[in-house]
Amino acid sequence: MRLTVIGTGYVGAVHAACMAELGHEVLGVDIEADRIGALAAGRPPFYEPGLSALLQGGVDSGRLHFTTSIGEAARFADTHFVCVGTPQRANSGAADLRYVDAAVDGLAPYLRDGGHGPVLVVGKSTVPVGTSERLGQRLRIVAPDADVAWNPEFLREGRAVADTLRPERIVAGVTTGGAEARLRRIYGPMLASGTPFIVTDPATAELVKLASNSFLATKISFINAMAEICDVTGADVLTLAEAMGADSRIGPGFLAPGLCFGGSCLPKDIRALTARAEELKAGGSVALLREVDEINRRQRRRVVELARRLVGGTLGDRDVAVLGAAFKPLSDDVRDSPALAVAEAVRLRGARVRVHDPEAVDNARAAHPDLLYALDVAKACEGADVVLHLTEWPQYREIDPVALARSVRTPALVDARNSLDAVAWRSAGWTVLAPGRPQLG
């Protein structure tokens, strides 16, 4: 089939490359010429494991193309995936839909004269419930046979290629049998391998992504709330999480205590769901999400406090090494990064902060130019009064604490992700503090 993907950011670039991998002819569309140029040359504009080879393969096969022309996209296919961003509004928690609206409004005039088969616009962007219906009404003014469906993405940064090609489920929010049939054809190889295909109305499909992310955020914040209790009782949050996760009704996933969550999805999505519920006069139904958000924010302040304790009560004029800048490992994404939030908070308290990250240094420097950066761990930690482990990259678990102790001024570590071998670090002479594990101090 011929498909277009409107918006070639994180979701769009991955979706376009994966659809070409499935054998479809795909045209990616974006207004950023530099981005389109890089993609057309087979170069992804961000770090995502496995994407580079997939993208290059699609371009080399002739199945994957890119353009800045929405008119060309309208002529290329009658199925259009909308994958543009929906960031949080600057003045509220609600989702900013200007890019979704612009994508549909930009496409619509080229459909005015007909000459196409039935047009299907498939939303993959994360949007408030009711968006599909509103966009369908606008689109059908100029293209009466146009249909809008919603097909939310469930990608995890660092695992996006696998999540697209081997998804746990595909959700199709449709109003017509024709839309359902077309989506079944597009995703045919996945359905043939047994991937569940959940057909529902568009409103439910819009809601499922926000509800899923809000549930995951709640689980993460809950174990971090328990970590706060562990700090004042002497209990060990890692053992607590292990015991809780052994209950099949709970499970171990997302019970990782530490610096909590960030990125472009979970914080934004819980706020967007809360805002939309309030617009619908149902704010009480998601009141707990406000506390989930507050617990998440509080973890950043708690890590700063642990750092302050380790350097004797004041961060002023101290040298602080930060391991990690991306909001999660296997990504160079620094949007709402807890690691950078902590690094900046420490800097504002008078410390000299040097940051290391395997992939995200360039993006971090652009977002936080007042911080210092290093391209290797030893350089980042040279002369440090305290080391803060803030993003759980696998490389950091391979650090030799004995060797690193020779680089620092004081062997003091805050393991804000609770993922390093505290016994090994303490045996090497380090003082170790971690959220929810007061006995380490």
User: Which residues, at least 6 apart from 254, have a Cβ–Cβ distance to it below 8 Å?
Assistant: 216, 219, 220, 223
Asked whether 72 and 4 are in contact (CB, 8 A), the reply is: no
Known catalytic residue at 265: yes
User: Which runs of E-coded beta strand occur in 187-285?
Assistant: 197-200
* Contact of 373 with 356, CB cutoff 8 Å: yes
Residue pair 144/111 in contact by the 8 Å Cβ criterion: no
Of 71, 74, 68, 155, which Cα lies nearest the Cα of 120? 74
Q: Please work out, in degrees rounded to the nearest 5, the angle formed at the alpha carbon of residue 32 by the alpha carbons of 31 and 38.
A: 130
SS3 272: helix
Inter-residue contact 394 to 401 (CB < 8 Å): no
Residues 233 and 227: their CA atoms lie apart, in Å, by 10
How wide is the angle at C-alpha 7 spanned by C-alphas 81 and 329, nearest 5°?
A: 105
DSSP code of residue 388: E
Three-point CA angle 166, 210, 197, nearest 5°: 35
Alpha helices in 2-61 (DSSP H): 10-21, 33-40, 51-61
C-alpha distance across the termini of the chain, in Å: 60
Side-chain half-sphere of 260: how many Cα atoms within 13 Å? 30
For the record, the structure tokens of 241 come out as 């999480």
Report yes or no: 47 and 332 within 8 Å, Cβ to Cβ: yes
Distance, CA of 26 to CA of 138 (rounded, Å): 25
In the block, which residue shows the tokens 């839309």? 179
Q: How many CB atoms lie within 10 A of CB 200?
A: 15
User: Which of the residues 83, 230, 260, 265 is marked catalytic?
Assistant: 265
| Backbone torsions φ then ψ of 31, nearest 5 degrees | -85, -15
Distance CA 4, CA 68 (A): 12
For residue 225, give the 3-state DSSP assignment: helix
Q: Which of 167, 101, 205, 17 is nearest to 5 (CA)?
A: 17
Residue numbers annotated as active site: 265
